[in-house]
Amino acid sequence: MTAQEIRRLMRKKRKEAGVQDGAAVCAQILELSVYQMAHTVMAYAAIDGEVPLTAVMEDVLKTGRTLLLPRCEGLGIMYARRIKTLDELVPGAYGIMEPGEDCAIEENVDFVLVPGLAFDRRGGRIGYGGGYYDRFLSGKKAVRVGICADFALFERIPQTQEDRRMDCVVTPSETVHVQEEER
């Protein structure tokens, strides 16, 4: 299957599945030692059948750590901006809730939760096709955690040189830790 075919199939499956239950995914994330050690965590506001991460975002804020969310600021350009409460999110590009432009940009990120249409067991990701996360993650040392529904986890998906691989992938039923040599 090509990346475009997988994108079409995953969009259809997401539509059929409806809103994903994030409780099981959030519980697994909260148990990850790399999450527990992270000082700066980047999450996302779920749209169109993505797994919601509200419990993780609330935990980051409750434990006094830094919570970042992406803000699209031009074609293919995304910055991590700090929020202190979930009330700071406003409708932004593509109808996604994101931090306002008055929220501070943060360069240092320890742990990034990455949405996608599909992932594989080697840390591969197929996003929406804009390359926002691939550009953002390029050169960052943060732990990268892909988040998806069970049906969106494949054995192997097509990847290009520009695609950034994940360190692990979390679905409602499992956490896949990717070995360094597989990435």
Model pLDDT for residues 6-34, shown as the tens digit of each residue? 888 888 888 777 666 789 999 999 999 99
Q: Say yes or no to pLDDT of 183 above 70.
A: no
- pLDDT for 18 equals 64
Model pLDDT for residues 76-97, shown as the tens digit of each residue? 889 999 999 999 999 987 788 9
pLDDT band at 181; cut points 50, 70, 90: low
**Alpha-carbon span 147 to 129, nearest angstrom:** 17
| pTM for the predicted model, two decimal places | 0.92
Model pLDDT for residues 51-81, shown as the tens digit of each residue? 999 999 999 999 999 999 999 988 888 999 9
Q: In sequence order, what DSSP letters do the residues of 63-122 get, joined into one string?
A: TT-EEEEEEE-STT-EEEEEESSGGGEEE-GGG-EEE-TTSPB----SEEEEE-SEEETT
- pLDDT for 34 equals 96
Mean pLDDT of 130-151: 92
